[in-house]
Structure 1
Amino acid sequence: MNYESGSIAQDRLTGPVTPPARRAWIVAAVIAVVLAIGAWAIWGRGNHSAAAPGTAAGAEQLPSVTVVVPGRSTVDRSIAATGTLAARREMPVGVAGEGGMITRVLVEPGQWVNAGQVLATVDRSVQVQTAAALGAQVNVARADLTLAQAELDRAVSLVDRGFISKADLQRRTATRDAAAARVKVAGATYAESQARNGRLDIRAPAAGLVLTRQAEPGQIVSSGSGVLFRMAQGGQMEMRAQMSEADLQGLHAGARAQVTPVGSTQTFAGEVWQVSPIIDPQTRQGIARIGLRYDPALRPGGFASATVSGATSAVPLLPESAVQSDGRGNYVYVLDGQNRAERRDVKVGQVSDAGVSVVGGLAGNERVVLAAGAFLSPGQKVKPVLRAAAPAAAATNG
């Protein structure tokens, strides 16, 4: 009886364990475990690192970057230029003789003519009479020569008989020789007159295309009248392309070109036949002369644009990933002797499937970062991984 009373009293004192209390104990246990794990992660790893400072885990972690020494590659460039159209060989035609009044003009601009063809005629009425008089003098001189020769022949037949002295024979020989000389003088004077009359006609110096006409019937012209006709020899045209000093470097005769006149969608094939040997000190430009075949759409004096290919240059060639750009312009990262990144401003040339040609800022013997340049900063130390450069073959820019 007392035992039972004691058991009942004990149960009333302690009471049963309820579910909320059990959950509280579980949460407390979990928190304790988490705190223990965190303490181990902080203090345990720290002690481990401190215990082994010379291991790889304690060493400085440097980013690895791929670098290349680009060298210099021969690159075919495409150069865009503008300029004017002109006759490749322009021939100014004027008065070659003494001149006079133009009586007829026989050609018009745009007309093809042959070498020596008459372009315009000049009045020659006075010159014709002068030539006729000189022609008559030739006949007189020839008659005198005939008479002198006959007298000389008779004297030769009589000198052996003693009727004529040798001195008389010599005088008649001299008379004959003088008459022969007068024939030559008269003939030369007559030929000169004929030549002068022939120069009164304004003729084409060579076959070609008439470009301009500044002569009209009734106009008085002379050797000081200036240019009356302009011709393109053989009808050949050219474009005189203005190019910068840098673009002219490596450009050679024979380079292919495509020329498009302003206002036209038609393109004409040509080739560079002459590169200017001088640079204008004011504009720092030179002229590349692009030869073209004749076409009515090519009008001298007109404006045109051209794309010239075939110019070559030896420059560093990089993939596009190596070239960065910001507000200051284009740049690359190169590594110094201590493997620190250094910004290098560059001038970019042509961009093609082969890569980006660098025309300024690089010599080609630097270690250039190929990728990850956007994540580097000047002075940052890196671990370089050298990659072999592409063969220095010609890269064609399309």
Structure 2
Amino acid sequence: MTADTIVLGAGIVGVSTAIHLARRGRSVVLVDRRTPGEETSFGNAGLIQREGVVPYGFPQNLGLILRYGLNNRIDAHYHIQAMLKLVPFLSRYWWHSNKSRHEAIARAYAPLIENSISEHKDLIEAAGAEHLIRKDGWVEAFRSNGVRDTEFAEADRLVREYGISYTRLDKADLAKAEPHLSRDFIGGLKWNDPWSVRDPHGLTSAYLKYFESLGGRFVTGDATTLSPRASGAGWQVKTDEGLVEGKDVVLALGPWAEEVTRKLGYNFLLGVKRGYHMHYAPAGNAKLNNWLMDKERGYFLAPMNKGIRLTTGAEFAYRDAPKSPVQLDRAERVARTIFPLAERLDAEPWMGARPCTPDMMPIIGKAPRHQGVWFAFGHAHHGLTLGPVTGRLIAEAMTGEKPFLDISAYRPERFNP
């Protein structure tokens, strides 16, 4: 089997990239070891985060770092046995999260986020996936005046600098918006611009069907078998349908990118933040109206098609270590006190891995030392948000168009000169 381009990785980034290449007349084979959208793209909170112009930084407050060190929180957890290996990544992550550096990173990162809604809208309409989308933002709920005031001040800054829209909710406003929520909260903040997705896996599947309608093909295969073509220029990979050969290859492998890039001689210091989710039925006639974060406790409740999805913060561990859903258990205990959750709907907790770079920006662009190899990974918490933006940028660069955004800040050379 031959194609102009092989796209390795069928999460939201890989599928979006395959679409944009197919739209530009490229023959494309999409390759993954699993069904599209069944890894990291499966289990997120379902937000297209137009407000997320500031990437999640490493805490700079020593007292907060020490509290995280107690390892008893919902928003972060770590495996002690993994920490030695994680030190190089975490130390660089901490360094880049310094206030001045973090602000500069946010300015470079913002153009991606600012185009997230418009680029998703294009693919949602083309894929006929409007039924999976809500366009009414999401809510942060606050338990204390101090956290509320800090978040309002930061939101005001984002309005001034990035044109983000939000609404302040007092206690009565929040109770009206969420009548079944407990009265533990003093108010909230509603981000107005983001869209939410009722079924993230369903959205990736809809995009895949659209890709196939453009003439693209999906096959099951092993990205780690990537090698130069034996018969000349280009690349090849082994699949269940035989050898697939292509002139170009895109690595959209998320947290598994390192397995292939290291074989090619690159070192991206790619970290992993694992996360968990579980679905619940609401008790009685209770209804959760909004995607909602318990800000001080660090977990998320989302009214998905399957049920109310509870998602956790970040777990720092070996990528392939067995599940340890202690954060989910902690979050569930708290969540049951603020909303009437009934039984669990999943047989076991879902776990996924977010691919993170130490400077919090994705890696988008051509491989520095290999002809025909392109990188599209490292999107951390915003893979769903940035899939279509990344796909368009990669496709434009690969086909000789001028990318609609300057991608120099995301270039691979910043890690591999």
- Structure having the higher helix fraction is 2
TM-score computed with the length of structure 1 as normaliser: 0.17
Q: Give the number of the structure whose residues are more often strand, by fraction.
A: 1
> Computing the radius of gyration over CA atoms, which structure comes out larger, 1 or 2?
1
The alignment's TM-score, normalised by the length of structure 2, stands at 0.16
